[in-house]
Structures are given as C-alpha cells and as structure tokens.
Structure 1
Amino acid sequence: MEPNTRILIIYSTFGEGHVQAANAIKQQFISQGIQQIYMLDLMAEAHPYWNAVTRYCYLTSSALCPSLYGLSYNWSNRLEPDRMFNRWLHSFGKRKLREVIRRVQPDAVIHTFPYLAAEQLGLEMASPLPTFTVITDYVLHSRWVHPNTKHYFVATESLKCELIGAGVNGKRISVTGIPIRAAFENSFQQEDLFGKYKLDPSKKYVLIVAGAFGVLAHVRKLAAAILEDTDYDLILVCGRNQRLANRMAAQYGSHSRIHIFGYVNQLEELMGLSSCMLTKAGGITLTEALSMALPVIVYRPLPGQEKGNADRLSEAGAIQIADHVREVTNRLNQLQQPYHLQRMLHAMKSLYKSEAARSVASEVLQFTYSYAHGNQAYPTLSERKAIQTHGYP
C-alpha cells in the first residue's frame, strides 16, 4: 500500500444511492490509510445548468410519468455500449475532468454512476488512468459498460453473468456486493433507540420510506390501509418532500399509531426498530435492508432499474413486490407467519455480501499498487481501440 495514493471518485446526485456508495468507498479508503480521496460530482461541476434540468426531469418523470421514464430506460438499454449515443453521454464533462485530473493527479478513478467520462477520456490518452466502475444496481444497463473500464464491482453472480454476456472478460469482474455505509453493519442497542424515537418496544412497526425525495406513490392510501387492516404501527419517512410531510402531519398528527419524519440521516436506526420496510427499489436501499435482515415489500416498482432490481431480488425470494394496496396488507399479514418470514430471511442472507466497500477499496489499491510497480501493463492506445472495435480480450 502506498500512503500517498490519490483516488478520484466520480458520482452523481441523481438519487441518493450513488452518493452514498461513493462516500462508503471513501471512508473505507481512509480506514486503510489512504487520505487523499477526491470526490467529484462531475455533471454538477461541468454543466451545472444541464445537471439541474436533467435531474429535475428525472425526478419528475419517475414520479409523475414513470412509463415514459421506463420507455427511455429500455430504449437506451438496447443500444450497444459503443454506440454513438452512449459515447456522447460518456463524453459529458471530459474537459472539466481533464482539468481535475491535471490538478489532482489521481492514481485511479472510480465511477459509481453510469456517466463514464474517465473511461471515455482514457480512449484519447496515451497513458490513461486505471478506471473502475461500481454498479449500484442488481441488473445491468448498457450505459454501465465501457471498453476502457479496467475492472467492475457488482452485486451478485447473476449480474456478473450479465456483464460477461455483454462481452466483458470475467477476470475483469469482482462480485463484492454493493457498497453501503458502515453504520448499517454495526450493532446497536434497540432499547436506547426506542427511547430516542419515543416508540413502544412492544409494538411491530412498518417503516414506509418514500425515498430521499419522497416519491413513493399512494403513501396516504397505504398508511390508511395498513392502520385499518393490520396490527402494525407505522413509521413514515417522507424524505425531502416537505409537502408530503405536512399533509401526513395534518391528517395523522394526533394518531397514536403513526410516527412521521422528514429526511433522516440515520435511517439505519429506524430500520433496526422495524419489522418490515415498504420502499422504492433503489439498489442501495435494498442492500441496506439485506444487511439488516429487514423484510422488504416494494410497492409498484418504477419501470427501469428499480423494477429490474425488484424483479431480481423477488425471484431470489429476498423481497416481495406488491402492485395494489390490498396486496401490501396481505403480504404484511403473511410475514407474521414464521414459515414465510424465515424463508425470506434465508434468501436475504444468501444474497447479501458484507463489507462491500472494504472489498472495493482493497481491490482498487491492489490494482494501483501493481501498476505503480510495473506488475501490470495498461493496454496501449492501439489495444484499447481494438477492444472498442472487436470486444474484450
């Protein structure tokens, strides 16, 4: 290990998951003695106006017109990774990235979002940097694939198989799991937390997480049905949707069985007090639930990567999907039966890989050490062009 190693982590604020994965990896580098970690929200830095517009469109379309977002996702997924559209997307921010690389002089670049500018820039450099991609979903989209990526870190063996099917050499893929904050893997005293949040330890709680931006559909209908048709109490996290929080407080503010929160920094504490979580199907959120063995019901997963995540984990028996409010309450009541609960917990345990962030950081350091000492040669420019044309060796 070289203590002067510099790492550049490129992320995006299109959803909280990519940021959290980047921060989890950063903390693991620091714990391993690497202090020079540089975080870059490339789109926000290079094109702040375009970043704000596209981010707004993403959040709006996923909330108000999910079918349109799903069509866009599926269309772009059918494109080959080296098609002009994907190359154009990956080229966003190259000029800014060039400036950052010149200033920071990193030994490696890690992407946690599928705008792979460092990989695209590497095709134009005589001596490119080793670039790594951490896929933060349980399904593959073509935008995650780039011929200049040195190594991929993925959640599951099935996702590794998808990458191999896309032409990536299996030696370039590590099944590490998805990086999450270390807090989710730490133990804590439930008794203290029940007191902190003024909750009753004799009750069973359903945690409804509307997402960081509060876009889970039909929250009020779900809350009413759960309170009426089950004996669970509710913990509702509204994220940054203050309008939702205000509406729910106005309707249920005096109700003894529902507890309303806005954005929560220490969500792991509320998860640790809950018997089940009702949430969106973001890759990070699902991984956090797996880490805590917290049963999950995904309500009406959004088309695109969230539906892919939900379908993949549901097929493995690790979560449940509900498309109707009545189905939610039926599944909640079903989870009170020991057989169904134990079957889900077993599937969750078999799927979850602990300490993913540590594994990613350790492997990146091993690669960079090998490059620094000449044990591995990065492909030449002509070799990388050949990879782009003919596929991976």
Structure 2
Amino acid sequence: MYIRHPRILILTAGYGEGHLQVSRALEHSFRANYVKDVEIIDLMKEAHPIINSVSSKLYQMSTFSSQFGFDYYGWSYYATRDNNPVGSVNRYLNALGKRKIQEMIEDSRPDAIINTFPFGAVTEMGRDFSIPTSTVITDYTLHSRWIHPDTDKYYVATEDLKDQLIRYQGAAPESVSVTGIPVRSTFYEGSIASFPIQMESRPIKNSVLIMAASFTIFHHIVELVRTLLEKGNCEIALVCGRHEKMILKLSSLFTDQPDVRIFGYVEHMPELMAGSSCIVTKAGGITLTEAVVSGLPVFIYKPFGGQERENALYFTNNGLAEIAYEARELGEQICTFLKEPAVSDQIRNRMASLCKGEAAELIVKDILTTLQDKRSLNKTTQFVAHK
C-alpha cells in the first residue's frame, strides 16, 4: 500500500506542447492511482513571465529562421550540449526560478517533485527540503541541461540514454529507470481505428498519415501529396491542427481527390495512427513516442537543429524512421516503403522492443513506492530513536 494522500508537484515549461503533454499524462496516471493532490505548474511562466514570453516567441520563430540558414536555436543547443552540468553556464540557468520554487515548496510542502523540463534549481531545492525530485527526460537524446547531481531519479526513453547517464555523467544505475516517455493512456488501448474508412467498391489501400502543420513551407506538402497520389496507390490523411488557412487551401486543391482526407485539430489521434501504414511528422520526442507505442513507421522531413535532429538521427540509426530533405525524395521513400510490407513488420518489431509498458504508470508507481519506502524508513528511525 502506498503513502496516503501524497502531494505531487509537476514542473514544466511551455516551449512547445510536448512537456505539458507529458505532465498531463503523469497527472492522469496519479489520479488513476487515487492521488488527488497533483499540481502542474509552468515554472518559467510563473517565475519569469517576461523572459518566458520572449524566449517562447524566439523558440517558435527559430523553426522558420532555420529555413533561411539562421538556426540560432540549433546553434545554442549544440554549443551547450556537452557543458559541465555544474559549470558556470548551467549554474546561471539553474538559478532561474529558484526563488519561486522555494515559495512553492514552502506554500504547498509537496511530498515529491517531478521535472518534465530541465530545471536544475528544482533538484537543489528538493535536496535542501529533503523532498525527492525526479526528472523525466522527454527526448531520445541527452543534453547537459537535463543533468544535475542532486537529481534522485531519472526516467528515460531507452537503454542507450541510461548508459549515457551512467557512463558519461556518473549517475548511479539505480537512479535511472528506462520507462519510455509518457503519452496519453489512449495510445495503449488498441482501439479500433476510425480511419481509413474503406469503400466496398474500392480495393484496400495503404494509409499515409501526414502531420501537415509540421511543414514550414506549404508547397512542400502539396508536392508530397501529388507524388503519393501519382505513385503510392494510397489514402492520405492530412492533419492541419488549428491552421485554418491551411485547411481551406488544401481542401480547395484536393476537393476532387477521394483518397485525400483533411482534418483540423483532432482528438482521435490514437485511432488515426492505429489505422495508418506510416506517419510523416516532425521529430519531437512525444510524437515519436506516440508512433512507437502505436507501432507506426516514421518519416521525418527536414528535422530542425537541436533535439529534433538528434531524435531523428537516433530513430534512423536504429531502423525506426527515415529522414528526407526534399519533398520529392520524401514521397519516393514512402512509395518504396509501401511496396515492401516486410520492412514495415521489421520496424514494428523494433518499436515493440522499445516499449516497456505504459510509461506514465511505470513512473507513477515507482515514485509512490519511493515515497512509501521513505515513510517506512522514517518510522523505523523514529522508533529506534525513541527506544
């Protein structure tokens, strides 16, 4: 039995949706385990709203500027990737939000703190207040910002990441658990896909799922779709998110194409993935994990510098994905893949070997067990001292 009514604080940041999605998956799993007192806080937004606003906009703009050779985010990522985790640069970055964290801890007195974004100050405060702190690394690659010697537990996506933490960063083997990256529980449910809906009069076709919003140049999407229609003998689902102009333009261009379906923002992504033969997407850690859990081969187009490029390279090096830098090349890769079902089976088998179970559930149960062990140890210590 776990400790009753623990208070859990999950700290995240709004640089993209991935960190928040991981936080919500963890919150959902805690509540499924009858832990009601769970709070998610965007630490950068709360502690430094102006810095957060400016840096968030710069992060968003970097995806467009990189198309013109000005990849300042990628440059900063690689310039700091191998920094000393306790060196001067990381010490400065770790100081961000330190005062706010102290206020939060003193106000709520959490039993455990979880980072889904690299906040070194959190682990320092956890040490000072004797609160166990853990970090969920949300990518398939390691950066110095994720590492801090006061971290009690790391939860990582792969055995390779665990080996890096142990071999190069001196982490104790017991302080690193390979759980995978948390995604929504619905991806594990194996629900029947609502896409594609096959017409009885037409032969069954492969289905290509394209995350259209991950393309920064519109005509690249159009070129890809036309290549697939010409050579792929497949159905195509274009997910545009909340990009209304993109939805209207694509609907107008392909209005006479029954094999092209266009979606805006969708809640039923697990079903779309389950019914597809492959996915074209950016190389964010969360989307890649959703594909792995769904057993869905991945095609990555022009990955941005930084963790996306490193994620993409990890996936290609391990036979889980392909990268393309031209729309026509991407279309040709997909068409070749669709003609070789044995390749798809091989990729799905490799993906299955990466899955350790439902990541959020594994992390939550491990944290609750740690809290229970800590409570039992404290009781034993108090009993011995009393005697």
What per-residue deviation string (whole Å, max 9, x for no partner) do you get for residues 227-263 of structure 1? 2332122111122333433332333344322222222
Contact map agreement 1:3 1:33 (CA 8 A) in 2:
no
The AA in structure 2 aligned to 1:255 is: Q
Deviation at 1:354, TM superposition (A): 2.0
Map 1:12-91; keep pairs closer than 5 Å: 12-65=13-66, 67-91=71-95
CA distance in structure 1 between the aligned counterparts of 2:373 and 2:64, rounded to whole angstroms: 46
Size of the alignment, in residue pairs? 370
Give the structure 1 partner of residue 120 of structure 2: 116
Quote the Cα distance in structure 1 between the aligned partners of 2:253 and 2:119.
42
3-state SS of the aligned residue for 2:370? helix
Give the deviation of 1:194 after TM superposition. Answer: 4.9
* Secondary structure class of the residue paired with 1:65: helix
Superimposed CA distance per residue, residues 171-228 of structure 1 (whole angstroms, 9 cap, x where no aligned partner): 21011111111000012233x55569xxx893322111145x7658732332232223
SS of the aligned residue for 2:148 comes to: coil
- 2: CA distance between counterparts of 1:261 and 1:22? 26
Other structure's SS at 1:306 match: helix
Deviations 1:105-140 (A, max 9, x none): 1100000111333113346x3x33111000011110
State how far apart, in whole Å, the 1-side matches of 2:350 and 2:98 are.
42
Please tell me the residue identity of whatever aligns with 1:13: G
What secondary structure is seen at the aligned counterpart in 1 of 2:377? coil
Within the candidate set 314, 338, 342, 1:339 is matched to 342
User: 5+ unaligned residues in a row in structure 1: which ranges?
Assistant: 378-393
1:158: how far off?
0.4
Q: 2:100 aligns with which of 96, 101, 104?
A: 96
Structure 2, unpaired ranges of 5+: 381-387
The one-letter code of the counterpart of 1:82 is V
1:195 to 1:39, Cα distance in 2 relative to 1, 3 A: same
In the other structure, the counterpart of 1:158 is 160
CA contact (8 A) 1:13 1:19 kept: yes
Runs of 4 or more consecutive aligned structure 1 residues displaced over 6 Å after TM superposition: none
2:147 is the counterpart of 1:145? yes
Say what the alpha-carbon RMSD is for the aligned residues. Answer: 2.3
Amino acid at match of 1:148: D
Distance 1:159 1:32 in 2: 28
The answer for the alignment partner of 2:293 in structure 1 is 291
Find 1:348's aligned residue among 332, 337, 351.
351
Letter in 2 for 1:15: G
- How many Å separate the matches in 2 of 1:145 and 1:346? 31
Q: For residues 263 and 294 of structure 1, what CA distance do their matches in structure 2 show?
A: 20
Distance 1:307 1:376 in 2: 48
Q: Is the 8 A contact 2:3 2:371 kept in 1?
A: no
Question: TM-score normalised to the size of structure 1?
Answer: 0.88
Distance 2:56 2:254 in 1: 31
Shift of 1:376: 11
Q: What percent identity do the matched residue pairs reach?
A: 38
Instruction: State the partner residue of 1:391.
Output: none
Q: How does 1:361-380 map to 2 (within 5 A)?
A: 361-374=364-377
Tell me, yes or no, if structure 1 residue 11 matches structure 2 residue 12: yes
**Partner SS for 2:113:** strand
Contact 2:66/2:304 (<8 A) preserved: no
Q: 1:195 to 1:257 in 2, by over 3 A?
A: closer
Q: In 2, are the aligned partners of 1:334 and 1:340 still within 8 Å (CA)?
A: no
- In structure 1, the residue matched to 2:324 is 322
Amino acid at match of 1:68: Y
Q: 1:214 to 1:321 in 2, by over 3 A?
A: closer
Closer/same/farther in 2, CA of residues 257 and 351 from structure 1, 3 Å limit: same
Q: CA deviation at 1:149?
A: 0.5
Q: Which residue of 181, 184, 199 maps to 2:184?
A: 181
Q: Which amino acid aligns with 2:186?
A: A
Which secondary structure state, in structure 1, belongs to the residue aligned with residue 135 of structure 2?
strand
Q: Distance in 1 between matches of 2:96 and 2:279?
A: 37
**Secondary structure of 1:374's partner?**
helix
